[in-house]
Amino acid sequence: MNKDLENIDVHNLANTIIFSVDQMGEYITNMDLQRILYFMKVSHYKKNGTMLFNNPLQAWDYGPVVDIIWKKYSKYGREPINKDEEITEYDRALFQDVSNFVATYLEIPKWEINNMINGISSPYTKARNSKDIHISEVHMN
């Protein structure tokens, strides 16, 4: 992600991710969306030392979650998010950076993504081990 990006509205980012995935001819579930948001925020912080978006990541039992986005798309359960029903606009300025990130993410096998999230030194695992629901800068270092 572009180093100049920070404090992005998480709703705009989620919309742009969903739109980007659709443009690639793929679909996205709420869980996939949560994982992409997690990887985007963590990788941006590690690379630039700033937060891509201000909404907290939470370390839930089944993975990292941005609560406000999870709730918005929870009606889909495990099914793909309906882009046509949900996305009325997306952030054109973010589109290229998001598309590049998402294209890389989609190439990674699901089992490897799970290993990356649950790895012993991952921010998610550090938060879970410390019994902290929020994945903070402390866990990302």
**What average pLDDT is seen over the chain?**
92
- In this prediction, what percent of the chain has a pLDDT beyond 90? 81
- Mean pLDDT score, 29-36: 97
Give the C-alpha separation, 95 to 23, whole Å. 11
Pull the structure tokens for residue 134: 């929020």
* Domain boundaries along the sequence of the chain: 10-140
Reported as a single tens digit per residue, the pLDDT across 73-128 is 999 999 999 988 888 777 888 899 999 999 999 999 999 999 999 999 999 999 99
Yes or no: say if 118 and 124 are a contact pair by the CB < 8 Å rule.
Answer: yes
Residue 2 has pLDDT above 90, yes or no: no
Amino acid 4: pLDDT: 65
10 Å CB burial of residue 105 (0-12, 13-18, 19+) is middle
Pick from 99, 85, 92, 91: which is nearest to 13 by CA?
91
